[in-house]
Chains A and B, each alone.
Chain A
Amino acid sequence: MSPLLAIDGLSVHAGGQALVSDVSFSVAPGERLGLIGESGSGKSLTALAAIGLLADGLSASGSVLLDGRQVVGARDRDLVALRGTTAAVIFQEPLTALDPLMKIGRQVAEPVRRRARRDGRPADEKSVMREVMDLLDQVALPQPDRIAKSWPHEISGGQRQRAAIAMALACRPKLLIADEPTTALDVTTQAEILKLLGQLVRERNMALLFISHDLPVVASAADRVVVLRHGRIVEQGPVAKVFREPAHDYTQSLVAAARSFDDALEIAP
């Protein structure tokens, strides 16, 4: 099967400086890929370049094939349709991921309506609201009808993140990009969101590009992992193999750091 996302020799430059250089990897349909590295290693930039959403002043070179179509150098107008049917993103900060002046229900309804129109399905108020309720239910939000009528500031951080996931699901993406989706949440909520993401990805056969600096989180969320450092790939392979026998010094130090932290927790009374 041809990959859903094929990145080949991708570089991102800001002025004369290379922020990401010569990155190549691919994501197959339904595959869960973890993108790991310290902050500033180019994880998020790589993901944004993959869907052609680089900020002004940044330029990408190389090749990015998203669902078989070239993203690098494509015009924004052509990318809008491609993104809408192919990819969706969940962000780190659930507070800024939702419009503070729009009720949750209306907010989730936006992508539902857009997707329904694009697919030629009925987009009347009743069927849209039914799907919104269904989505809020799927992301395990309690009392969906009540949540739908709330403002973002009236629900908790975990609930906001679930609402953001519902919005991403409404796009019916083939590729879900999760950019540190659990970093801003407490540990319990983090575990719940990870479980929910894993379950949704499996049920809907979506591919997942999971970006994180947190080794244990990536280990549980991904099948394969790509390790980035200073904008370059230092190592990639199946999660179990990379974490058990890290080949590169940097990966070894990452794994060792995570392990000594775990050990310290176990020794503590």
Chain B
Amino acid sequence: MTDTRLIATSPEGRTRRSLTFTIGAVVVGLHLVIGLLTLFWAPYDPTAMSGGRLEAPSFAHLAGTDRLGRDLFTLIMIGSRIALIVGTGAVIIGAALGVTIGLLAAFASKTLDDVLAAGLDILIAFPTLLLAMLIVASSDGASLWTAVVAIGIANSAIVARLTRILAKRVLRMDYITAARISGTSWIRVVTIHILPNIWPTLLVNLALQFGLAVIAEASLSYLGLGAPPPNASWGRLLQEAQGTVYTAPFGAIAPGIALVSLVIGINLLADGLRDIGDPTRRRRR
């Protein structure tokens, strides 16, 4: 009896969405809409003086102006686009590289697995930012794409280690052995069993990596190694506001709020996505 009742409720459970998912989706959606909007329209020309220097927030300048008299809100809007590009690009590179290496290690012979695991540990022990700086420094000058690639490679080590552990745990399950006995190829085992089972945990981690990538890009820009002007980056806005932080604090607070809201929004979104993707969690709500 219990069984039939549980089964009957499951289809409805799928359409139900959690509160965290909704909040996350709204915040990230807002950044996405704003970022896309800047491709066609912005309140002011981001490179031109549009008011006095270091003006306080007003209706004309929602976030005030910087020390060159540029509209800060316009720059922050463009910063959204840059942050999303860097986060998405770095996560795609990190996931593609990381999942491949992680699966390879999980399936590899013991010696190769040990070598890969040790290599990953060394990469992880290296601070992400330092690694990204090294990669940016060794390429011909900073650009948006060297930053994306550098952060993506740094992220891939963490993704790879997680994938390796998760995949190994799934590989020990009886249903994998049963599938092998009945003659399932390894590729099929990976696509129908391993990836779906490690995906929920991996997704949350990738969201974390997205947030870290946004922060890493801001740090690179802060150090002058990120996307060069005219790309507006939150990190460079923070750096430019540093000198005037006592006289015009909003110049530092506004990009800070933008950065934090995007990172938290992504994490909430991922939490919600995991709950929706996992049938055993789905039912409880």
> What number of B residues sit within 8 Å (CB to CB) of A?
27
Interface membership of B175, Cβ < 8 A? yes
Name the interface residues of B156-214: CB closer than 8 Å to any CB of A. 173-175, 177-185, 192-193, 196-197
Interchain CB contact under 8 A, A153 and B279: yes
- Which residues from chain B contact A155 at a C-beta distance below 8 Å? 3
A93 to B173, alpha carbons, bound, how many Å? 10
- Which residues from chain A contact B193 at a C-beta distance below 8 Å? 99, 102
In the assembled complex, the CB of B188 is this many whole angstroms from the nearest CB of chain A, namely 8
A83 to B173, alpha carbons, bound, how many Å? 18
Q: Name A's B-contacting residues (CB within 8 A).
A: 51, 53, 56-57, 80-81, 83-85, 87-89, 91, 93, 96-102, 110-111, 114-115, 118, 143, 146, 149-151, 153-156, 159, 164, 167-168, 170-171
Binds A, one of B4-12, B41-49, B56-64, B250-258: B4-12
- Counting chain A CB atoms within 10 Å of each CB, which of B6, B109, B110, B173 scores highest? B173
Interface membership of B278, Cβ < 8 A? yes
Interchain CB contact under 8 A, B280 and A146: no
Interchain CB contact under 8 A, A80 and B185: yes
Could you write out 26 A-B pairs with CB less than 8 Å apart? A53-B180, A56-B109, A57-B110, A80-B183, A84-B181, A84-B182, A89-B177, A89-B178, A89-B181, A96-B173, A96-B175, A97-B175, A99-B192, A99-B193, A99-B196, A100-B279, A114-B182, A143-B4, A146-B7, A150-B7, A151-B10, A151-B280, A153-B280, A154-B7, A159-B3, A168-B182
Interchain CB contact under 8 A, A83 and B6: no
Interchain CB contact under 8 A, A101 and B182: no
- Which residues from chain B contact A115 at a C-beta distance below 8 Å? 182
Interchain CB contact under 8 A, B6 and A154: yes
Interchain CB contact under 8 A, A81 and B183: yes
Given A56-B109, A164-B178, A110 and B3 contact (CB-CB distance below 8 Å) = no
Residue on B nearest A154 in the bound complex, by CB: B6
CB contact between A150 and one of B10, B110, B175, B181 (< 8 Å): that residue: B10
Q: Per DSSP, are chain B's interface residues mostly helix, strand or loop, or mixed?
A: helix
A97 to B283, alpha carbons, bound, how many Å? 22
Interchain CB contact under 8 A, B174 and A102: no
In the complex, the 8 A-B pairs of residues with the closest C-beta atoms, listed nearest first: A84-B183, A91-B174, A96-B174, A97-B174, A151-B279, A171-B182, A111-B182, A101-B196
- Which residues from chain A contact B174 at a C-beta distance below 8 Å? 91, 93, 96-97
- Which residues from chain A contact B196 at a C-beta distance below 8 Å? 99, 101-102
Chain B 1-38 interface 0/1 with A at a Cβ cutoff of 8 Å (1 = within): 00110110010000000000000000000000000000
A85 to B181, alpha carbons, bound, how many Å? 9
A149 to B3, alpha carbons, bound, how many Å? 12
- Which residues from chain B contact A150 at a C-beta distance below 8 Å? 3, 6-7, 10
Given A57-B110, A153-B280, A154-B3, A97 and B180 contact (CB-CB distance below 8 Å) = no
Chain B 199-236 interface 0/1 with A at a Cβ cutoff of 8 Å (1 = within): 00000000000000000000000000000000000000
A110 to B7, alpha carbons, bound, how many Å? 22
A135 to B177, alpha carbons, bound, how many Å? 21
- Which residues from chain A contact B197 at a C-beta distance below 8 Å? 99-101
A154 to B279, alpha carbons, bound, how many Å? 10
A111 to B189, alpha carbons, bound, how many Å? 12
- Counting chain A CB atoms within 10 Å of each CB, which of B4, B182, B184, B193 scores highest? B182
